[in-house]
Amino acid sequence: MISFEKYTLSNGLTVILHTDNTSPLLALNLIYKVGSRNEHPERTGLAHLLEHVMFEGTNKIPHYNEALQGVGGENNAYTNTDITNYYLSVPAQHLETALMLEADRMTNLAFIPEKFNIQRDVVIEEFKQRYLTHPFNDISLLLKPLCYKKHPYRWNTIGMDIRHIAETSLDEAKVFYTTYYCPDNAILSLAGNLDIEQSKALIEKYFGNIPKGNIRPSVLPKEPLQKESRWLEVERDVPCDMLIIAFHGSKRSEKDYYPTQLISHLLSNGDSSILQENLTQKKKIFTHMETSLTETFDRGLFIINGIPANGISLQTAEEAVWTELEQLKNKRIKSKQLEKIKNKTLTLWYFSEINIQTKARLLGVFEAMDKAERIQKEEQLYQNVDKDNIKEVSRKLFRKTNSSTIYYKAKN
């Protein structure tokens, strides 16, 4: 259970405070409710590019990292489909410095052409290194547009095409910044060794006078319900074949997320999981298998991927996966299996509540997704999942007409 206090400044900034006096540090997260979902289809990658530019200094403080490191702080950031999160940790006595730095770059970011061009080149190189150089790394570039036809989730956070990044201008980045980087589109969460009243006073001092933005709710294209199986075959210079099957699932905030997460663990978490035991160990159809969820604010994906054993065709491998999925849909799992997976999942959740950085992040993310109070219900929502829920959600998920499959083939 993570206790916290939440309130809103007059300019719309949401503030969440959690006290943990067991640590000499405090963690700060500043989440802007903007991600790749908010980009124009011809300027994909802009949210991530702006994240890079945010570390290039302001008109007042030209060297953000030096200022933070000077008081013993560490920082980083990430952009995903739904949010951009700037996070740091500092010795508790330097809270004021941390707040001053974040408030300053919310309003005074210095868009210096030379620095902007450098960061744009860095992101282009990151795109090449991450997706075009290493084996299998372009899978997400192929899978997302196969699964999504209308929704902005059809492109990766780093961008759909290098051209989009290369053609982004300084002025376009400025417009994106002034549109989305404002207090009424942000969530400030603090966790650690803090005095609540002092923290409130400092937050008001540095953020209270920042004017509201002109933010309007984004109206995103609604993804049509998938009604047919989709399939793609590609050849690449890779050492082995890979099978990828993706299914449209639930939003992270929906009730179905919890059985879906447990289904993922049932299928591939540990040697005794269904796919590992049956297809990797016993039948030796695969040498490696895993499942994952994208955990997005709108409907995400449930993804299965595996590397077939030598001599096993991708078609045979795919048929074997579907056999196991049909078994899961039509046979009740054992109570012991479900309890084991719940215990594993909740153990990971309990560990996440120990770390102040993770607590600050979770409070901010849950608030951005829905509301921070949801965090108190996570354990019970997992505990409430029963065998009938597993069967019901499996039947929703694992349908041929809800599947997108890639045969990722090694060149002969």
Q: What is the pLDDT of residue 217?
A: 81
Reply yes or no on whether the pLDDT at 327 is more than 90: yes
- Residue 83 is given by DSSP the state -
Instruction: Give the pLDDT mean for 113-127.
Output: 97
Reply yes or no on whether the pLDDT at 299 is more than 80: yes
Q: What is the pLDDT of residue 94?
A: 97
- CA 193 vs CA 40, 67, 90, 131: distances in Å: 41, 21, 10, 40
* The dihedral sign for the CA sequence 308, 314, 320, 322: positive
Q: Is there a contact between 258 and 293 (Cβ–Cβ < 8 Å)?
A: no
Instruction: Give the pLDDT mean for 249-276.
Output: 95
Reply yes or no on whether the pLDDT at 394 is more than 90: yes
Q: What is the pLDDT of residue 350?
A: 82
Reply yes or no on whether the pLDDT at 276 is more than 90: yes
Q: Is there a contact between 271 and 128 (Cβ–Cβ < 8 Å)?
A: no
What kind and span of H or E run contains 319? helix 314-330
Across the strands, what pairs with 404? Answer: 230, 246
More confident residue, 139 or 217: 139
Reply yes or no on whether the pLDDT at 405 is more than 80: yes
Distance separating alpha carbons of residues 187 and 12, to the nearest angstrom: 9
Domain positions in the chain are 5-207, 230-410
Question: Whose CA is closest to 262, among 355, 392, 406?
Answer: 392
With bands split at pLDDT 50, 70 and 90, how would you rate the model's confidence at 332? confident
Q: What is the pLDDT of residue 49?
A: 98
What kind and span of H or E run contains 62? none
Coil, strand or helix: which one is 368? helix
Are domains 5-207 and 230-410 of this chain identical in fold?
A: yes
Q: Specify the fold of 230-410.
A: Cytochrome Bc1 Complex; Chain A, domain 1 (3.30.830)
Contact partners, residue 334, CB within 8 Å, separation at least 6 = none
Reply yes or no on whether the pLDDT at 89 is more than 90: yes
- CA 217 vs CA 33, 214, 230, 409: distances in Å: 10, 10, 32, 42
With bands split at pLDDT 50, 70 and 90, how would you rate the model's confidence at 320? very high
CA angle 314, 146, 319 (to 5 degrees): 25
Question: Whose CA is closest to 31, among 295, 367, 299?
Answer: 367
Average of per-residue pLDDT values in the chain: 96
Judge: domain 5-207, CATH 3.30.830.10.
Answer: yes
More confident residue, 135 or 25: 25
Q: What is the pLDDT of residue 309?
A: 98
Q: Give CA 120 to chain center in angstroms.
A: 22
What is the pTM assigned to this prediction?
Answer: 0.95
Question: Whose CA is closest to 156, among 144, 168, 172?
Answer: 144
Q: 338: how many CB neighbours lie within 10 A of its CB?
A: 20
Q: What is the pLDDT of residue 120?
A: 98
Identity of residue 227: K
Instruction: Give the pLDDT mean for 66-94.
Output: 97
Q: Is there a contact between 325 and 360 (Cβ–Cβ < 8 Å)?
A: no
Distance separating alpha carbons of residues 172 and 152, to the nearest angstrom: 19
* pLDDT tens digits, one per residue of 154-213: 999 999 999 999 999 999 999 999 999 999 999 999 999 999 999 999 999 999 999 999
Q: What is the pLDDT of residue 354?
A: 78
